[in-house]
Chains A and B, each alone.
Chain A
Amino acid sequence: MPNIIFANTKGGSGKTTAALTLTSELLAAGAHVALLEGDPNRPLARWAERRGAPVIDGPKTRVGSAADAAVAIREAAGDSKLLVITTDNDDEAVLDWLQAAQGWGTFDIADPEGSPNQWLAQVISQAHLVLVPFAPTTLDANQVARTIRQINQTERISSKAIPHRIVITRANPGAVMTRDERDIRKSLLENALPLMDVSLADRPAFRGMFKHDALLSELTPDQVGGLPQARSNAAAFAEEIIEILRQPAAQKAA
């Protein structure tokens, strides 16, 4: 079961929205998805609870091992295809939860807090794919570089490849790129940094998943505008990620 982490040391880069968009596509395709949430604000847990999906409160569910965590997951998940595990305040137990979650779902998606923190570093070290969401502004560029450095140095010290891609989020939904986005794309490509072909556009439908406690496939045109474009964007985003996960580098990782 692949571990995918949306990692950026800066908040507001679109991590959680991108994570939920991917989750939404995977669930719609029939997968079991475990969401590992590091953000103490718990937006994913709250979204899941409002939908009636199981949520494990990690800090309250003390586990001493991955085996303990696996028992807690089996008990909480039941027949659900979605499970959210919050692990805020505990970068030691996160690896136990991660290992146990791998044994439960088809995909494991981690959404850390947007800050330079050990939780993020620990989960990166076990990832089959690290996605670095990046709202294309100069301000965010520096933090992307910091996240990529963390990945590269972990790769060097552990002698292990950690497949990663930068994904532009909050892109201009129109056909024309902003100047910032164009310049940043050019710089990333010139520096041979791995950039996903598909960007996630800034669309109301993506925010609508949180507003209406819904998957993208459950939203209706009277709830949000631009639904066909958002669905098409999300499908292309998920397809590219699945294609990356099929590549040998991701198969070998972790």
Chain B
Amino acid sequence: MMTKSSDAFGFEAIGEERKGLDLSDFTRSPGAPIDRPAAEAAREVADAAGFQSRGKPASPRRAGQGRANPPGKVKISDLIGRPDVPDEPRAQLNMMAPASLIVRFKKIEHERGVRAWEVLKAALDALEGPEQ
């Protein structure tokens, strides 16, 4: 004798077995901090691949037409020679270097969880010696 079935084919029981998504492993919790070295790495890769900064679509430049600096960024050529270079604006430095050196650089950046410019700053500080 069948104990329970309002469905002649027994499909009802199969439907009951389907509980839907089990999200018990996922709870609301304080977010992890952003992985800044990974974000910096992604930016470099994307820059090299020609990815655009959103909201600043590339427009064709005519010969001789300069490009305005994005907000908060300056060209180093505009600052060299000035005695009072401020810390606030950002400038971009692209360079080719031996691959082994870049690997060392990236290793330090990743292991210490600092940004690329902070590694550069530490190296320059070390080269220039303690401030007087």
Is there contact, CB below 8 Å, between B43 and A88? no
CB proximity of A35 to chain B, nearest CB, Å: 15
Residue ID in chain A nearest B55 by CB atoms: A89
Stretch at the interface among B1-9, B46-54, B60-68, B121-129: B46-54
B80 at interface by CB-CB < 8 Å? no
Size of the chain A interface, CB-CB below 8 angstroms: 56
B117 at interface by CB-CB < 8 Å? no
Within 8 Å by CB of A121, from B28, B31, B35, B51, lies B51
B96 at interface by CB-CB < 8 Å? no
CB proximity of B92 to chain A, nearest CB, Å: 13
Is there contact, CB below 8 Å, between A99 and B42? no
Is there contact, CB below 8 Å, between A122 and B21? no
CB proximity of A212 to chain B, nearest CB, Å: 22
B41 at interface by CB-CB < 8 Å? yes
Within 8 Å by CB of A106, from B28, B32, B53, lies B28
Instruction: State whether A122 and B43 are in contact (beta carbons under 8 Å apart), knowing that A31-B23, A113-B54, A245-B26 are contacts in the complex.
Output: yes
Is there contact, CB below 8 Å, between A235 and B21? yes
Is there contact, CB below 8 Å, between A117 and B51? yes
Query: CA–CA, A157 to B102, complex, Å?
Result: 10
Instruction: State whether A149 and B38 are in contact (beta carbons under 8 Å apart), knowing that A106-B27, A242-B23 are contacts in the complex.
Output: no
CB proximity of A155 to chain B, nearest CB, Å: 9
Is there contact, CB below 8 Å, between A29 and B21? yes
Residue ID in chain A nearest B44 by CB atoms: A157
CB-defined A-B contacts under 8 Å, sample of 12: A100-B31, A102-B31, A104-B28, A116-B51, A117-B54, A118-B47, A118-B52, A121-B43, A126-B34, A158-B110, A242-B23, A245-B25
- List 14 additional A-B contacts (Cβ < 8 Å) besides A126-B38, A158-B35, A238-B21: A2-B26, A38-B54, A99-B33, A102-B30, A103-B30, A106-B28, A118-B43, A118-B47, A121-B42, A126-B34, A150-B46, A159-B106, A160-B35, A246-B25
